[in-house]
Amino acid sequence: MCIWYDPSYWKTTRIGATDCKGTAAGCGHQSCGIDVAIDGVIMWGSILSEWASLLLRWLHVVAAIAWIGSSFYFIALDLSLKPKSDLPDGVQGEAWQVHGGGFYRIMKYLVAPTQMPNELTWFKWEAYTTWLSGFALMVVVYYLDADLFLVDKSILDLTPTQAGLFSFCSLALAWLLYEAACRTGLAQRELPFAIGGYLFLVALTYAFTHVLSGRGAFNQIAAIIGTIMVANVFAVIIPNQKKIVASLIAGQAPDPKLGKTSKERSVHNNYLTLPVVVLMISNHYPLLYATRFNWIIVAIVLALGPVIRHFFNEGHAGRKSPWWVWGVAAAGAIAILFLSAAGPREAKTGALSAQPTLANVEEIVMSRCSMCHAAEPVWAGIVTAPKGILLDAPEHILRNIRLIGRVAAWSNAMPPGNITEMTSEERAILAAYISEQDR
């Protein structure tokens, strides 16, 4: 079987091998044998990419669980420490804990003990592995398939290379700006720094949603936050701890500023954790990233995450729980709900040029979606229908009509990157048809 891709790149025609005579009309190859070989390369490339994505995602999630878990634990431990008169010199406080049938007594030194212990556990590879696996996953999913997941030509006509370079450079530049702000002493003024950092991230989000696809923009801001967090561990916290250890080994008193700076960066990471988790899983929820006010949704998430962390931090410190936090969180969640219902970025206005009938819906889906969502996909690199969803027959369309609504009518998540150029008129027809079915 030869496959010929129309120059308009979304219409595909299959021609039988018996109809293909070397350079027959429609076949761009010299022989069907070459065509089959190329199809095999494409197939295996797609399969290997899928498995790489799975394994990297698995590693990324496991590493992130370990990192976030240890981070939350030590923040809670720090806040729960109680000073007592019978503690050794230089000890800030202690905490008693019970877990797994055992009791633990934990003490924290203000700077460091007078003598270096024989064994010392470092917490760093959880963070490093999270970033390394996350960046590798970003390369496999977003850079190698940039035309699908990073570029949306209806937003900005970028080549995959341009989009990848923009993503990587903005990742590095955002971290450099954050690091410069911290090293100038601005971070010591906690509230102004927090407000400035929040506005900085919101501005980046707005810019990304006007350059990249919605999914790509959400992933990009998540990657920037994750990079800042890991860089805090790699470039500040661990080096400072190593300097403290070196001072102890040399019999010198460690510089108290080293521990203070590390603690400052650790607190930054603590407040950034919840937003970055939401943004990382957002690619499963098109009503978040592929609707008109997606950047405002990110702004709300960036505000709610630290507020919710504040509730738990206050509780760990033994202070009165700020229950007002949940009222703010509920208000933010309701706002996100209504913003996500605003529809895709380019909404159709005025009367429809075609009636929202099943025949018209079928024509739209067949011309924009079925080259991938078919029993035998004809899109290069697609071996099986994504998520096993078939849209190549009326009964398949009706079975998945609500899913079609979420990804292609009430949002513009599909086709990915709008690579088949579905119009706002077509999305409006889909939405109108679904609304009529619900009456």
DSSP secondary structure letters along 232-263: IIIIIIHHHHHHHHHHHHTT-PPPHHHHHHHH
**Ranges of the chain whose pLDDT falls below 50:** 1-26, 29
| 3-state class (DSSP) for residue 412 | coil
Residues 192 and 231 both lie in one domain? yes
Residues 91 and 232 both lie in one domain? no
Q: Which residues pair with 97 in a beta bridge?
A: 104
Give the pLDDT of residue 186. 86
Residues 136 and 15 both lie in one domain? no
Number of domains in the chain: 4
Residues 274 and 378 both lie in one domain? no
| Under 8 Å between Cβ of 197 and 271 | no
Alpha-carbon span 268 to 232, nearest angstrom: 9
Residues 284 and 138 both lie in one domain? yes
Residue 348 lies in a domain: no
Give the pLDDT of residue 33. 56
Alpha-carbon span 431 to 417, nearest angstrom: 19
Residues 177 and 285 both lie in one domain? yes
Contacts of 432 (CB under 8 A, 6+ apart): 352, 356
User: CA angle at residue 128 from 127 to 129, to 5 degrees?
Assistant: 95
Residue 171 lies in a domain: yes
Alpha-carbon span 436 to 391, nearest angstrom: 20
| Under 8 Å between Cβ of 341 and 410 | yes
Alpha-carbon span 49 to 300, nearest angstrom: 34
Residue 419 lies in a domain: yes
Give the pLDDT of residue 89. 82
User: CA angle at residue 228 from 144 to 300, to 5 degrees?
Assistant: 90
Residues 146 and 166 both lie in one domain? yes
Residue 191 lies in a domain: yes
Residues 173 and 312 both lie in one domain? yes
Residue 349 lies in a domain: no
Range of the structural domain that residue 14 is part of: 2-48
Alpha-carbon span 395 to 405, nearest angstrom: 16
Residues 309 and 431 both lie in one domain? no
Residues 294 and 397 both lie in one domain? no
Give the pLDDT of residue 422. 92
Residue 345 lies in a domain: no
| 3-state class (DSSP) for residue 14 | strand
Alpha-carbon span 340 to 39, nearest angstrom: 40
Residues 97 and 241 both lie in one domain? no
Residue 353 lies in a domain: no
Alpha-carbon span 108 to 81, nearest angstrom: 8
Tokens of 180: 């410069």
| 3-state class (DSSP) for residue 97 | strand
User: What percent of the chain lies above the pLDDT cut of 90?
Assistant: 57
Tokens of 380: 């290069």
Residues 215 and 229 both lie in one domain? yes
Closest to 136 (Cα-Cα) out of 69, 70, 223, 201: 223
* DSSP track, 186-233: GGGSHHHHHHHHHHHHHHHHHHHTTTS-HHHHHHHHHHHHHHHHHHII
Contacts of 392 (CB under 8 A, 6+ apart): 366, 370, 373, 374, 375
